[in-house]
Structure 1
Amino acid sequence: MTKETALSPDVLLEARERARELIRCGFQEPDEIAESLVEVLDDQGLTQEEAERIVAPLWAERLAEQAGWPRITDVDRLVEAFDALEEQGVVTAMDFTCCAGCGYAEIGGEAGEDSYGFVFFHQQDTEAAAAGRGLMLRYGGFRAGEEPAEVSERRTVEVGRAVVAALEAVGLAVEWDGSPHTAILVAPLEWLNRLPE
C-alpha cells in the first residue's frame, strides 16, 4: 500500500483536481504545484512527496496533449501583444500576484523610467481563463506626482486603448467599454499555455 492510497478518496480527488487546474494555467513547475497542493491540503495529511506523486502523471498527460495543439495558440498571441506593449512603454505582467489589490500595489516595482503605464493579470484571472471564462486584464497609467485625477484617468484610458489595439492586432477578441474603471476582457479565449520547460 503506497502512502498516496492512505489518503482519503476525497482528499485525493481534491488534490488531483487542484493539480489539474494549476497545470492548465501553465505557469508553475511541477514542484511548485506540489507545494501549492500541500499548502492547501496539509491539514488533510498531504505531504510533499505524496503531492509530487499526484502531479507527475497529470503533468505527463498535459505534455502529451500539447503535442496536438496548434503551432500558435491564443496564449502565444497574448504574449505577442504584451511584447508589443512593452516596446511602447507599457509594463506587462502575466500571472502576477494573487489578486488585483496586490497587483496594483506591486506593479510599480516593475516599471522602468520610460514606463508610462501597465497591464497585468493575476493568478485568479489566470485560473478563470484556464477554466474557459475569458481573461480579465488590469491596466492603468503611472501617476506623476500630484497631478489631478482627471489627468491620471486620461492616461489610464490611453493605456487601455493601447492594450485593446495590441490585442486586436494579434487577432484576439476584446470587450471594453472605454472606461478607466472597467477591466478589459479578452474573450472568447482558448487557454492553451505550454508548460514551462
Structure 2
Amino acid sequence: MDVARWLLIDESVRDGITEQIHLAVAAGRHDFERVVRGVAETWMTEVDDKSLLDEAIRDVAAEEFAGHLAAQDGWPAETDNDRLSLAMAELSMAGILAREHYTCCMTCGLAEIRAEISELSGVRGYVFYHEQDAERAVMGGGVYLAFGPGDLEGEGDASPDGGIGDLPDGGIEDSPDGSIEDSPDGSIGEEIVAVLRRRGLRVEWDGDDGQRIHVHVNWRRRRFGPLAEHPEMGGRGEPEAGLRVRFCDPTWVVRDEPVVLSARESRDLLLWLTPRDGNFACYEGESGEVLQFMWRGGVRLWAETPDVAARRSYGRYVTLDEGLAMIAVLAEGDRIGLGDSGDLETVFWS
C-alpha cells in the first residue's frame, strides 16, 4: 500500500488495525478473508473511506500472514499448542468435552458448552478457552482454562450453572487473571491438570475450584492449507508432493475440493479438527489408498479405509496419537497403517 494513503488514516486507528491483525493471524483460527472481515467490522465507523480501509487491512494482513509463515518454518516439530491440542483431545475422549478458541468470551462459552452437552451422552465435564484467552496467550499471558462438571443442573452447593456462579447482573466474571466465581467439581480440575502435565505443559492451579487453570504456553499455532492462503503467497502454494485431503470443521473451515497438504500440514489438520460429531478429514495417498477420520459423539475418533469395489469399510476407534502416526505412515510410506496395532471392524455399506 502506498505510504501516503496509509497515513491518511488516523495514527491511533492504524495502530489498532495493526495490533488486531497481528493477534488474529497469530491466533491461527481464521483464514485471510475472515481476518479481514473481522478487522473491518471493528474499524468501519472510524474511517469514512471504506475502500481505503479495505486496502489498508488487506495489505497489513498479507504482510502479517507472510511473516507468520516464515516464522513457523523455524519452529520445533512439536509446539506447546500441539501439546495443548493433544491434551484437549485426550480429555474429550475421556468424557470431558474440550474446546479451543471457543466463542468470543466466557459468557458465550458457557452458554454454548451447555447447549452442546445437552445434546450429548456420556459427558462428565467440560473445559475450554475462548478467543479473548487466545489473544492474551499470543501476548504472552498463557491460557486460562474454564472447566466444570457435566451435570449442568449442579448438585449440593454448586450453582445452577454447573459450578460457575452468576454475578448480580447476570454476567460471568472474566478477569485477565482467570478468576471465576463459585466452584465446579474439583475432581474434574485435577483430571485436567494431570493430563496437561503428562503432555509436557507447565500448569498452575492450586486446587481452588473457583480459579481457572493457568497453562503456560509459548503460543505457536501453525497455519496450513486454507489457513495459510493469502494474496501474496508467491511460491508458497500447495506442496508439489503430499496427501490429497478433504475435510470439514464448520467452526473454522470447510474444504469440499481436495487440497494437497504436506505430511506436516496433514498432521496439523487432524490435530486441530474440533472433536465434534461429524467433523472429518479424508486423506488420499499417492497410490490412491484412502484413510479417513471422523469424530463421533464428540468423544470418539473413528478411523477407516474404504473398499469401494466391495462396498465396505474397515475401521476402528483410535486415539489422536494413533491417528497422527497413521497419517505419517500414509504420507511417508504410502500405505494404510490402520491395522498395525488393532483389529478392524468391517462396516458394510447399505
Q: Which has the higher helix share?
A: 1
Q: Which runs of 5+ in 2 are unaligned?
A: 164-182, 229-350
SS across alignment from 2:44: helix
Give the equivalent residue in structure 1 for 2:22: 20
Mapped contact 1:89–1:116 kept (Cα < 8 A): yes
Q: Which has the higher strand share?
A: 2
Q: Distance in 2 between matches of 1:147 and 1:9?
A: 53
1:58 corresponding residue in structure 2: 64
Q: How far is 1:78 from its partner?
A: 0.1
Aligned-residue CA RMSD in angstroms? 2.2
Conserved? CA contact 2:84–2:196, under 8 Å: yes
Pick closer, same or farther for the CA change 1:4–1:146 going to 2, 3 Å.
Answer: closer
User: How far off its partner does 1:36 sit?
Assistant: 1.7
Percent pairwise identity: 30
Farther off after superposition, 107-116 or 149-158: 149-158
Amino acid at match of 1:191: W
> Is 1:172 aligned with 2:218?
no
Tell me whether 143-152 or 91-100 shows the greater mean CA deviation.
143-152
Question: Could you report, residue by residue, the CA deviation over 1:52-91 in whole angstroms, capped at 9, with x for unpaired residues?
Answer: 2221111111011110000100000000100110110010
3-state secondary structure, aligned to 1:139: strand
1:26-175 to structure 2, matched below 5 A, reads: 26-45=28-47, 47-111=53-117, 112-143=120-151, 145=153, 147-149=155-157, 156-175=185-204
Gaps of at least 5 residues in structure 1 are none
CA contact (8 A) 2:98 2:126 kept: yes
CA distance in structure 2 between the partners assigned to 1:24 and 1:150 by the alignment: 37
TM-score by length of 1: 0.89
**Shift of residue 128 of structure 1?**
0.7
TM-score by length of 2: 0.52
Which has the bigger relative contact order, CA under 8 A and spacing at least 6?
1
